[in-house]
Amino acid sequence: MTKHLHTKLKKITGCLLLIVLIMPRSSGQEILARWTFDNTTDPITGNGTAGLIGGVTQHSATLSSGWRITDFPQQFTASGTAGAVFMVPTTGYVEIELSFGHRSSGTMSRWAEIQYTTDGGTTWQTLSNNGGGLTPHDQVYDFSFGFPENSGAANNPIFGVRIVSIFSPAPFNPEVPDSTFEANTAYHRARTPGTGGNAYSGEGNWRLLNVTFTGIPDTSGLPVKLAVTSINNGVPPILNAPFSVTVKALDADDNPANVISDTQILLTKASGSGELGGTLLSTMATGNSSLIFNHVTYSLAEPGVSIKAATYRSVNNIFARPVVQLPSVLIESSGIYVSSPNRIWSHNDSGYTNELFLFDTTGTLLRTLLISNATNVDWEDLAVDDLNRVYINDAGNNSNDRTDLKIYRIPDPETITGDQVTAEIINFVFEDQTQFPPPPSNRNFDIEAIVWKSDSLFLFTKNRSNPQTGFCKMYKMPAHPGTHTALLVDSVFLGETNHEARVTAADIHRQTGELVLLTRTKIVSFVNYPGNRFFEGIMTENYFTTSMGQIEAISFTGDGRIFITEEGSGNTTGFLYDVKWP
For residue range 351-390, list pLDDT tens digits in order: 899 999 999 999 999 999 999 999 999 999 999 999 999 9
Which residue did the predictor score with more confidence, 77 or 217? 77
Supply the pLDDT for residue 14.
37
Euclidean distance between CA atoms 146 and 189, whole angstroms: 26
Supply the pLDDT for residue 312.
60
412 pLDDT band (50/70/90 cuts)? very high
Contact indicator for 365, 327 with CB cutoff of 8 Å? yes
Q: Do 357 and 296 reside in the same domain of the chain?
A: no
Sign of dihedral through CA atoms 71, 77, 80, 81? negative
Residue 578 has pLDDT above 70, yes or no: yes
Which of residues 195, 217, 239 is at a domain's end? 217
For 28-42, 98-112, 491-505, which range has the lowest pLDDT when averaged over its residues?
A: 28-42
Euclidean distance between CA atoms 246 and 13, whole angstroms: 17
For 99-113, 148-162, 400-414, 557-571, which range has the lowest pLDDT when averaged over its residues?
A: 557-571
Q: Do 451 and 406 reside in the same domain of the chain?
A: yes
Q: Do 213 and 241 reside in the same domain of the chain?
A: no
Residue 4 located in a structural domain = no
What secondary structure, in 3-state letters, does 53-95 show? ECCCEEEEEECCCEEEEECCCCCCCCCCCCEEEEECCCCCEEE
Q: Do 124 and 233 reside in the same domain of the chain?
A: no
Domain span at 78: 30-217
Closest CA to 461 of 496, 425, 490, 428: 490
Residue 8 has pLDDT above 50, yes or no: no
- pLDDT above 90 as % of the chain: 67
Report the alpha-carbon angle 63-68-74, nearest 5. 170
Q: Do 284 and 175 reside in the same domain of the chain?
A: no
Which of residues 312, 332, 361 is at a domain's end? 312
21 pLDDT band (50/70/90 cuts)? very low
pLDDT in tens, 58-94: 999 998 899 999 999 999 999 999 999 999 999 989 9
pLDDT in tens, 548-571: 999 999 999 988 899 999 999 888
Euclidean distance between CA atoms 336 and 139, whole angstroms: 32
Q: Do 63 and 97 reside in the same domain of the chain?
A: yes
* Most confident of the following: 128-132, 173-177, 294-298, 543-547: 128-132
Supply the pLDDT for residue 458.
98
Which residue did the predictor score with more confidence, 415 or 44? 415
Q: Do 347 and 466 reside in the same domain of the chain?
A: yes
**Cβ neighbours, 10 Å, residue 360:** 16
Residue 10 has pLDDT above 60, yes or no: no
Supply the pLDDT for residue 314.
64
- Provide the number of structural domains found in the chain: 3
For 22-26, 154-158, 223-227, 277-281, which range has the lowest pLDDT when averaged over its residues?
A: 22-26
336 pLDDT band (50/70/90 cuts)? very high
Residue 8 located in a structural domain = no
Q: Do 249 and 167 reside in the same domain of the chain?
A: no
Q: Do 350 and 475 reside in the same domain of the chain?
A: yes
Q: What does 149-204 look like in DSSP terms, one character per residue?
A: GGGS-TT-TT-EEEEEE---SS-B--SSS---B-TTSS--BSSPTTS--PPP-TTS
Closest CA to 487 of 540, 532, 437, 425: 532
Which of residues 185, 217, 249 is at a domain's end? 217
Residue 248: which residues within 8 A CB-CB, separation 6 or more? Answer: 226, 227, 229, 256, 289, 290, 291
Residue 150 has pLDDT above 70, yes or no: yes
Supply the pLDDT for residue 29.
65
Supply the pLDDT for residue 315.
72
**CATH code of residue 176:** 2.60.120.260
For 240-254, 265-279, 505-519, which range has the lowest pLDDT when averaged over its residues?
A: 265-279
Residue 9 located in a structural domain = no
Work out the mean pLDDT of the chain and round it to a whole number: 90
Residue 547: which residues within 8 A CB-CB, separation 6 or more? Answer: none
Supply the pLDDT for residue 262.
75
Residue 44: which residues within 8 A CB-CB, separation 6 or more? Answer: 34, 35, 36, 38
Q: Do 171 and 119 reside in the same domain of the chain?
A: yes
- 377 exposure class (CB count in 10 Å sphere: 0-12, 13-18, 19+): middle
For 79-88, 419-428, 491-500, which range has the lowest pLDDT when averaged over its residues?
A: 491-500
> b/e per residue, 416-436, with b = 16+ CB within 10 A?
eeeeebebeebebebeebeee
Residue 370 located in a structural domain = yes
For 59-73, 496-510, 568-582, which range has the lowest pLDDT when averaged over its residues?
A: 568-582
Query: What does the pLDDT average to over 520-547?
Result: 87
> b/e per residue, 6-41, with b = 16+ CB within 10 A?
ebeeeebebbbbbeebbbebbbbbbbbbbbbbeeeb
**CATH code of residue 244:** 2.60.40
Euclidean distance between CA atoms 185 and 195, whole angstroms: 23
Residue 449 located in a structural domain = yes
Query: What does the pLDDT average to over 173-195?
Result: 94
Residue 272 located in a structural domain = yes
Q: Do 150 and 98 reside in the same domain of the chain?
A: yes
Query: What does the pLDDT average to over 123-134?
Result: 97
341 pLDDT band (50/70/90 cuts)? confident
**CATH code of residue 413:** 2.120.10.30
Residue 1 located in a structural domain = no
Q: Do 560 and 458 reside in the same domain of the chain?
A: yes
Residue 546 located in a structural domain = yes
313 pLDDT band (50/70/90 cuts)? low
